[in-house]
Chains A and B, each alone.
Chain A
Amino acid sequence: MAGIKSLDELKALRDKYKSSVEMRSSTDEENRVRIAVGMATCGIASGSRETINAIVDEVRAQGLNNVSVVQTGCLGYCYAEPVVEIRMPGKEPVLYGNVDSKRGREIVNKHIKNGEVITDLVIERSRC
């Protein structure tokens, strides 16, 4: 690898690699957005692995660095898998159903980035 010739080059390199270690920090946990994807047997069977990978990819692509994407178990909405739960600091959790990878990316862009809840994907908790 060619040498780094200036502090600016070093800073650019840091910004390039930063995302690779970003999720390791567990500080400021309470202020992070948490996206949990249902990955029990029902979720996996309905394609939640593609969903979680698409969400992770989109989060990185949009440079969102206060977001944790984690797996979770069965939430009981097997009919609506893949299920994705969004927890934003200080707000009620929102539950989305039937999230394929395309809708996963849409959730990142609309809900996480801009704060718009995509109402037609939301599972009403009271209905169950």
Chain B
Amino acid sequence: MGSYRMDVLVCGGTGCQASNSIDVIETMSKEIKAAGLEKEINLVTTGCFGFCEQGPIVKIQPDNVFYVKVTPESAAVIVKEHFVKGRVVKELLYEEPKTRKKLEEQSDMPFYKKQERIALRNCGLIDPENINEYIAVDGYQALGKALSEMTPEQVIDEVKRSGLRGRGGGGFPTGTKWELTRMSKADRRFIICNADEGDPGAFMDRSILEGDPHSVLEAMAIAGYAIGADSGYIYIRAEYPLAINRLKIAVKQAYDMGLLGKNILGTDFSFDIHLKYGAGAFVCGEETALINSIEGGRGEPTVKPPFPAEVGLWKMPTNINNVETFANVCPILLRGADWFASIGTEKSKGTKVFALAGKVNNVGLVEVPMGTTLREIIFDLGGGIKNNRKFKAVQTGGPSGGCITEENLNIPIDYDSLTEIGSMMGSGGMIVMDEDDCMVNIAKFYLEFTVDEACGRCTACRVGNKRLHEILTKITEGKGTEEDLERLKDLSQIIKDSSLCGLGQTAPNPVLSTMKYFWHEYLAHVNDKYCPAGVCKALLKYHIIPEKCKGCTLCTKVCPKGIISGKLKEAHVINKEECIACGACEQVCKFGAITRM
């Protein structure tokens, strides 16, 4: 290690890699060598910065300059201008859309201003494949502190007092879970890290594992010490190759350094970590199904109780926590329960990572204190709705959650407030919808997902959700009746009450919540055979407003069915019987004369 005068942090997360950050790194490395700067400039591949919309991200320190959307070509310019001559490349700075001002520093960007990064603290800061950098930022100090200065009971007490709750969806108090597992009498106990992230749109667990894998390994070892377990499993889906690769490197490094394995840090405590790959079934995120899958059985849930804390992996007491939950543990031990409990709301402490997706300007990962409002997340951090459209709803909690409308945007969000308004925290997926989204169709989309992912074990979920999906399809095709709406409600309730596991119990939530907030849209579909958002093709018809039509004949030329008629300079007419609602005519009309009806 020489003394570099500059650190160049390039995002190597999946999101930025997809927008070519690997080539950016290669070009930069080549150009740095060509300029003879390789001993002065330290090029580091980091984890995710969260601002995926603007990737690939390159951050320069100590200059504190944040470049966005860097291409291999512009990477070469950065080397020649910034690294050699000290001139900031203005074109590559982030431009604040409202003021059109170029912002140099990350902390000035609205996307980062309200964020408080605990779980994501090292993502974008350190090289996840270099354990020395993790050690440099206090890595494994929390484990060291726990092993040498605290009893297992004290560790549990600290986590309990912090108020940390499960970040995977349930929101169960983590310290209590540890205590219950510790109290179960048995010869062996196990730790499992649930990295089977399945909610559509959610990718915080992947980003943590890619950007800061050691923080999860360290927390698992701490949990092992607290509950009296000597080994742990990380159950991760095989669809996360980069996260798996970084985990493998991290596990090996930790063993080599003696931070995992026998007699950690010279104490009596030994802890092993194994990786177990899932095949990507959504239901395997459910604790009991996950355990079955690790044991080599089918990924099907079993009835609870008994809970895994009593009878878990290989019939032994097992503590299962989600990746993001583990990522919060080390800071709690190092900075204290009181510090953690000072952040957030009365019953939900700390921060939560949300994956912003859908019709929002700044797609990406944000970590905010509990109690931040949805309006702040969507309009301040998220930069508002794409193309200046109108906000309609936001779906939280993925296929298990529900939608939230304008009227509830100012509620400070935590586990309880979201449940109160008919949605849930879930793993933190947040899909924003605008006026062009049909809520019946959204409900159908989520049902399609849960029907596909149902394991088939219990009838309520296997058959019930299939029927729900069929009724929704019928409605979107314009064949629904008011009785169908009643049937949807009744059936949803039955499925919720009688399904075996969380997947089935929550699958009807998108239906119930869209019916609650957008009843008029359902009614329009069944009574008027009309889709207000203009999404359901079968209900969509186009119409030419005669007063606005100038008779330019452009629409007749693009109509694939050739069913628009009229003379030059006279109002045209669409033959509604034959119209396939492709929308081609609406797109070309220069006079706004063609509308959906």
Residues of A at under 8 Å CB distance from B? 1-7, 9-11, 13-14, 17-21, 23-26, 29, 37-41, 44, 49, 52-53, 56-57, 60, 68-73
Q: Complex Cα distance A28/B64, Å?
A: 12
Centre residue among A3, A6, A40, A56 by max chain B CB count within 10 A: A3
Asked if B144 is at the interface (CB within 8 A of a chain A CB), the reply is yes
Given B4, B85, B132, B258, which contacts A71 in the complex, CB threshold below 8 Å?
Answer: B85
Contact pattern, B 56-80, Cβ under 8 Å of A = 1, otherwise 0: 0000011110000000000000000
The size class of the interface chain B forms with chain A is 35 or more
Interface pair A70/B63, CB less than 8 Å apart: yes
Centre residue among B4, B62, B82 by max chain A CB count within 10 A: B62
Q: Complex Cα distance A1/B139, Å?
A: 17
Interface pair A7/B61, CB less than 8 Å apart: no
Interface pair A4/B5, CB less than 8 Å apart: no
Give 17 CB contacts A-B under 8 Å.
A7-B265, A14-B139, A17-B133, A20-B4, A20-B133, A21-B125, A21-B133, A24-B61, A26-B61, A26-B64, A26-B107, A44-B85, A53-B5, A56-B3, A56-B40, A71-B85, A73-B86
Residues of chain A within 8 A of B9, CB atoms compared: 24
Residues of B at under 8 Å CB distance from A? 1, 3-7, 9, 40, 42, 61-64, 82, 84-87, 105-107, 125-126, 132-133, 135-141, 144-145, 147-148, 256-259, 265-266
Q: A11-B141, A26-B106 are in contact. Are A4 and B258 (CB under 8 A)?
A: yes
Q: Complex Cα distance A6/B63, Å?
A: 37
Q: Complex Cα distance A10/B266, Å?
A: 11
Give the 5 A-B CB pairs with smallest separation, nearest first. A3-B258, A71-B86, A17-B136, A68-B62, A39-B86
Q: How far is the CB of A105 from chain B (nearest CB, A)?
A: 12
Q: Complex Cα distance A72/B87, Å?
A: 7
Q: Complex Cα distance A52/B133, Å?
A: 24
Interface pair A69/B62, CB less than 8 Å apart: yes
Centre residue among B42, B86, B105, B126 by max chain A CB count within 10 A: B86
Q: Complex Cα distance A18/B138, Å?
A: 9
Interface pair A23/B62, CB less than 8 Å apart: yes
Residues of chain A within 8 A of B106, CB atoms compared: 26
Q: Complex Cα distance A26/B145, Å?
A: 27
Interface pair B85/A14, CB less than 8 Å apart: no
